[in-house]
Chains A and B, each alone.
Chain A
Amino acid sequence: MVKARCGRILGEDIYIEEGDTTTLYFVNQLRAYQVMLAALEALDQDVCHDGCSLPTTVNKVIKRLSKLKNDLEVSNVVAEKKESLLSKIDNFLAEANRLPQDTSQTCRKSAGECIIGSDCFATGALNLINVVTEPKAQKI
């Protein structure tokens, strides 16, 4: 089978066989988390560090990454590829775990420090996952 490149995650080019939508699903999700986590790290340098939206988002990311890991574990992705992708999820989980997770802090809008309007950067960063529209989520 011909293998084609479908992404580069944490510096490694990822190749999959044509039509392997199961592996492609996990690769595309990880491509999104790579960008999303960088955006959240940038937010952590800002007033969002002391707010509640960033930690709420980080907790969601951790939960979703953990689910993605479970889904990958029980999937039919070939063993070698599965190991490689699992280690990347572990890397992203470690990255996410270094970000704030205490949701008891006050929203920076309520505190009067975030004056960007009604939208929220943390939510915007989380929505980067919506860029991935193909392939559809696997039924596991």
Chain B
Amino acid sequence: MQTEVLGNQIQGLNIVLGALQAATGGICKSCIGLEGAKTKVGKIAKKLGMDLQAAAICCEKTKADLQSRIDSLSKAAEELKVAEECACQKTAGDCKLGEPCFVNAAIDLMKLVQ
């Protein structure tokens, strides 16, 4: 069961990171929302690593595979390109898509994992 839960979380994080990478190609690159999301996904990846270490998974290969996937997600999170100086792009007047936010919606994709 623990393997399944971890696998699902890894699946979710992979999709979140794909969306966030695309956001770095938009004005979100200079957005405080993306800066926060980068920290958040880094923490999620770190927690997944800790959960994996604590998990009772007897198959060493399965554990190593999951660890390698977590490592690559962790690296992808670290490599998200965020500007040095960020400000909310709605406040800056550049983001005019309404009240919601792409970055928050991307992070919320993790909630699909029940």
B19 within 8 A of A: yes
Instruction: Report the separation of the CA atoms of residues A47 and B25 in the bound assembly, to the nearest whole angstrom.
Output: 26
**Which residues of A (98-125) have their CB < 8 Å from a CB of B?**
115-121, 124-125
1/0 per residue, CB under 8 A from B, across A41-59: the answer is 1110111000000000000
Residues B19 and A28 in contact, CB atoms below 8 Å apart: no
Contacts of A119 in B (CB 8 A): 112-114
B44 within 8 A of A: no
A interface, size bucket: 35 or more
Task: State the main secondary structure of chain B at its contact with A.
Answer: helix
Residues A128 and B12 in contact, CB atoms below 8 Å apart: no
A8 within 8 A of B: yes
Given A6-B96, A116-B113, decide whether A37 and B22 contact each other with a Cβ distance below 8 A. Answer: yes
Contacts of B18 in A (CB 8 A): 38-39, 41-43
- Shortest beta-carbon distance, A115 to chain B, in Å? 5
Residues B112 and A11 in contact, CB atoms below 8 Å apart: no
Residues A42 and B14 in contact, CB atoms below 8 Å apart: yes
- Shortest beta-carbon distance, B93 to chain A, in Å? 6
1/0 per residue, CB under 8 A from B, across A1-39: the answer is 000111111110100000000001000100110111111
Contacts of A118 in B (CB 8 A): 114
Residues B15 and A7 in contact, CB atoms below 8 Å apart: no
B74 within 8 A of A: no
Residues A4 and B93 in contact, CB atoms below 8 Å apart: yes
Contacts of A34 in B (CB 8 A): 22, 25-26
Residues B96 and A128 in contact, CB atoms below 8 Å apart: no
Contacts of B112 in A (CB 8 A): 116-117, 119-121, 124
26 contacts between A and B (CB under 8 A): A4-B94, A6-B96, A7-B27, A8-B25, A8-B27, A31-B102, A34-B22, A35-B22, A35-B26, A38-B21, A38-B22, A39-B15, A39-B22, A41-B18, A42-B14, A42-B15, A42-B18, A115-B4, A116-B8, A117-B113, A121-B11, A125-B109, A128-B105, A132-B97, A133-B99, A133-B100
The chain B residues found within 8 Å of chain A, CB to CB, are 4, 7-8, 11-12, 14-15, 17-19, 21-23, 25-27, 29, 93-102, 105-106, 109, 112-114
